[in-house]
Homo-oligomer: A and B are copies of this chain.
Amino acid sequence: MEEIMSQFLAENMNVTEEEAAFIAECMPVRTYPKGTVLLRAGQVATECYMNFKGLVRRYYLVDGEERTTAFYTENQAVASLLSYNTKTPADHYLECVEETTLAVLTYEKELLMFQRYPEFERMCRVGVEVQYGQHQEMMARYMTSSPEERYLHLLETSPDLLNRVPQYHLASYLGIKPESLSRIRKRVMQKQ
């Protein structure tokens, strides 16, 4: 399992073999069965994850209904950053939609890594800023587009997601009812 992590680090980060080994040691790789709840509303997030294989979704319970606000697929970070950094209870859930293999980081191991390799902290700072920037764009795109435009964007950028996710989760993510998603799908298929 550690090999996945070392390979990922070697391919994506400017680190030596020794550094990669230490980082891999700090971030054990675990496989969670489908349906595993990684974080519940009310709990403090004590872990961050790097998704190597599988699918995690973030959802909120609104009036007893699950409302999905994010999907995290391969090579994406999974983190409830506010809860994790401020040690306050989360207001949402993280759930494995499929069997999912994640590298797991805790607050203590994170500090340990940064103490030993300060240059890794810079890489992480810049990485987080870029991801935050992508999140700013993602929110702007959501705010300025219609459900159909959101669906077309997913179809273009993450076509596999559309088949991996149950339709009612997808509809909730697009901000519509499952019936509306069916209509959009039909319309888009007719056009193609």
- Taking beta carbons and an 8 Å cutoff, which residues of A are in contact with B? 58, 60, 62, 67, 69-70, 80-86, 91-92, 114, 118, 121-122, 124-126, 128-140, 142-144, 173, 175
- Residue numbers in B under 8 Å from A118 (CB-CB): 118
Q: Report B-chain residues with C-beta under 8 Å of the C-beta of A173.
A: 143
Our pick among B62, B67, B85, B140 for the contact of A133 (Cβ within 8 Å) is B85
Which of B122, B124, B136, B140 contacts A81 (CB under 8 A)? B136
Closest to A125 in B: B125
A128 to B131, CA, bound (A): 11
The answer to whether B130 and A85 touch across the interface, beta carbons within 8 angstroms, is: yes
Select one of B130, B136, B138 contacting A86, CB under 8 A.
B130
Q: How far is the CA of A175 from the CA of B60 in the complex (A)?
A: 21
Further 17 A-B residue pairs, CB within 8 A, beyond A81-B132, A85-B133: A60-B144, A69-B139, A69-B140, A70-B136, A80-B136, A82-B134, A82-B136, A85-B129, A86-B133, A125-B125, A128-B128, A131-B132, A135-B135, A135-B139, A138-B139, A142-B143, A143-B173
Tell me the complex Cα distance, A139–B139, Å: 6
Q: How far is the CB of A153 from chain B (nearest CB, A)?
A: 13
Q: Is the CB of B60 within 8 A of A140?
A: yes
Q: List 22 A-B contacts (CB under 8 A).
A: A60-B140, A60-B144, A62-B144, A67-B143, A67-B144, A81-B130, A81-B133, A81-B136, A84-B133, A85-B129, A85-B130, A91-B137, A118-B118, A121-B125, A125-B125, A125-B128, A132-B132, A135-B135, A135-B139, A138-B139, A139-B142, A142-B143
